[in-house]
Amino acid sequence: MAKYSISKNTGMTYEEAVEKVKAALSVEGFGVLTEIDVKATIKKKLDKDFGKYIILGACNPNYAYKALTLEQEIGLLMPCNVIVYENEKGKAIVAAIDPVTSIGKVDNPAMPPLAVEVREKLEKVIKSLA
């Protein structure tokens, strides 16, 4: 898997994984602000077929507020994207952006500890999936 993500192959269907990811995000204090159905978007915009794939824009309001008060342009790296897609075996893969990696170039010493806290929460989400 990518070095900029926290990911897991699941034994679930795509549909099961999407629901379980949303529930696990909620447990860790994240809301889903956006949902991009990549399959539907590619079909509509390009009239091409693509596999089941969704991008969830997850946000934990407390961490978002802290980050924005430390660095206003950090909003360019928000929300935390979480993806669910179906592999060739019909099972879901779930991945979340690693916030430590994504803010690596931000020149603000207060940001890395905050990114570590957010990564820990996202790791809990991914690990909770069966």
Which range of residues forms the domain containing residue 82? 5-127
For all residues of the chain together, what is the average pLDDT? 96
- pLDDT attached to residue 10: 96
- pLDDT attached to residue 1: 60
What's the CATH number where 41 sits?
3.30.310.70
pTM of the model: 0.94
* Domain count across the chain: 1
Q: Tell me whether residue 49 is exposed, middle or buried, using C-beta atoms within 10 angstroms of its C-beta: 0 to 12, 13 to 18, 19 or more.
A: exposed
Torsion angle of C-alpha atoms 37, 103, 115, 101, degrees rounded to 10 = 80
